[in-house]
Structure 1
Amino acid sequence: MDNDEVIEVLKQYGFTMYEAKVYSSLVYKSPANGNMIATHSSVPSPKVYEALRNLSKKGFVFLVSSGDKSTNKLYTPLPYKDLIQRIEERTYEQIRFLGESLQTISDQHEKTWPDLFHVEGYETSMDAIVTKINEAKHSILLSGWSKEIITLQPFLLAAHKRGIQIVSLHFDMNPTLNTIPWRCFDHLYTETVMKRHKNELTLVIDNQTSINFEANPHHANTVMTNHQFMVQTSVNYIRHDIYVNRVLRDVGEHKLKKLYGETLEGLIDDF
């Protein structure tokens, strides 16, 4: 690093150009009087004495001998290692202050844009979903296939035990899910319906976060958002699916099949 670069770095830490040149000159040769400093630093003599006064006030330069004549006044610099230590201490305090202050500002910030996250990969998506289940405060609403629900079952059970209200809709039947303690519903199984729900897992956490997971083994991905319109859309989607399947169970499939066909194609394929 040449002297010009040293001058530029010192300027970044509060030195003026003349102060940086005077201090650098004294590091090179000291003690020195004003004329000697002016000659070596190429700083005009009046500016040398102005810089020396400022540096003395800051504790970066010291007068080591004096007399009636200015040529008898000799100056020496604060050792450069001590200067660097002072800069490090001041910089650390400034960074600490900046971090604390920006954290306070961030905590007070009101978000005007909702969060939306896209997660790639099956395992990564499942890990993200588990994290959200573990963070649930009061409710979990979900619909999906037994493969994913069975994987999530230990975490859902833990959530249930800590008082989280869970309601689930299952697209396929699996004996493992017969003993779950929360409210659950089975979806009508038809080829058309199952094709439409293929690889689908939808969750709503605390009515605040919606999670839509495409559990495609070749290209699994998840979208999570706290956008309230999207959250409410997911809530309505799962609820209405549950409503329809409850009606099928309560009224009886045979009655509805008389109206809409053996696989309810008159209803499902209507549009």
Structure 2
Amino acid sequence: MNPDLIRTLQRLDFTEYEAKVYLALLEQAPVSGYAVARQSGVPRSKVYGTLDGLIARGAALASHGEPTLYAPLPPAELLAGRRREAEAAIREAEQGLADYAASSANRRVIWDITGRDEILMRVRDAIGRAERRVLLQLWQEDAPLLRDALAAAAGRGTEVIVVAYGDPDYPFARVYPHEPGADRITEEYGGRWVILSVDAAEIVAGIVSLGDESRAAWSQHPGLVMPITQQIAHDLYIAELLEAHRETLEATFGPGLVRLRERFGPPVGVGGPR
């Protein structure tokens, strides 16, 4: 039996026993398992398991008689099948590795997005990739441009939670009104922003009230994703606390927790230092 050919078959994912049994079948078939063991040199205790493995992989055939007789899949068909499997695996690897490389690069980079339209387009794209949860903070003015993407996400089972400045009219989402409201925040900061976290794995955050001069960051970098996600989460904590304990909290910190805002007021506005 040709040792070089056995090694070649092993490179095609045959075991040594499978290669020997397949070559024995090519030499003489149809043939019984006993004859295969004798011809191939594979022990009788192993030959039937080896034949079953070849049949399961489509490299051998068995008759339904007594005794059972075995034959090989013709070499041309065997190699054509192996070629199809290899080509399919290469295509999958090409796509998978490209996606992984892109994802790996995105986890290391913070991208700078300029212009309100570009920023909101990036937000829609990210929402389209959401699988589990979308956390979003936005103004009423920008809500219509994200409505369809968010509704589609909710429709495929993604949880959509929004901290809103104004009424976004999102019946498909859990919406928490920010306190204080849009007018007060806009007055304090001089503009408005959008903050998005998708599956706690991807964020878009930035200013959207400066038209073509609007700026935002988009990233999967964990050093940015974690604090941005927690920023939205902490606004949700405050909203829940106010809903459950408003009277007690406002007795200490004033309406809408105004005394806390005065203490930790904005050092910068949308346009820069204030």
TM-score band by shorter chain is 0.5 to 0.7
Do residues 238 (structure 1) and 232 (structure 2) align?
yes
Do residues 182 (structure 1) and 173 (structure 2) align?
yes
Structure 1 Cα separation of the partners of residues 178 and 117 of structure 2: 26
Local SS of the residue matching 1:242: helix
Matches within 5 A, 1:202-217: 202-217=195-210
Matches within 5 A, 1:114-133: 114-133=108-127
Alpha carbons of structure 1 residues 240 and 105: separation in structure 2 relative to 1, 3 Å: closer
Paired residues, number: 167
Higher alpha-carbon Rg: 1
Cα offsets for 1:127-168 (capped at 9, x unmatched): 121111122222211111112222201110011101112111
Q: For 1:242, give the aligned amino acid.
A: L
Q: Find runs of 4+ consecutive structure 1 residues off by over 6 angstroms.
A: none
* Identical residues among aligned pairs (%): 17
Alpha carbons of structure 1 residues 210 and 104: separation in structure 2 relative to 1, 3 Å: closer
| Structure 2: 5+ residue stretches without partners | 1-90, 265-274
Do residues 261 (structure 1) and 259 (structure 2) align?
no
Cα offsets for 1:108-128 (capped at 9, x unmatched): 759476132111111121112
| Structure 1: 5+ residue stretches without partners | 1-99
Do residues 147 (structure 1) and 141 (structure 2) align?
yes
TM-score by length of 1: 0.54
Matches within 5 A, 1:48-59: none
Alpha carbons of structure 1 residues 217 and 251: separation in structure 2 relative to 1, 3 Å: same
TM-score by length of 2: 0.53
Alpha carbons of structure 1 residues 171 and 197: separation in structure 2 relative to 1, 3 Å: farther
Alpha carbons of structure 1 residues 104 and 129: separation in structure 2 relative to 1, 3 Å: closer
Structure 1 Cα separation of the partners of residues 109 and 125 of structure 2: 16
Q: For 2:117, give the aligned amino acid.
A: E
Say if 1:145 and 1:201, in contact at 8 Å, map to a contact too.
yes
Structure 2 Cα separation of the partners of residues 233 and 263 of structure 1: 24
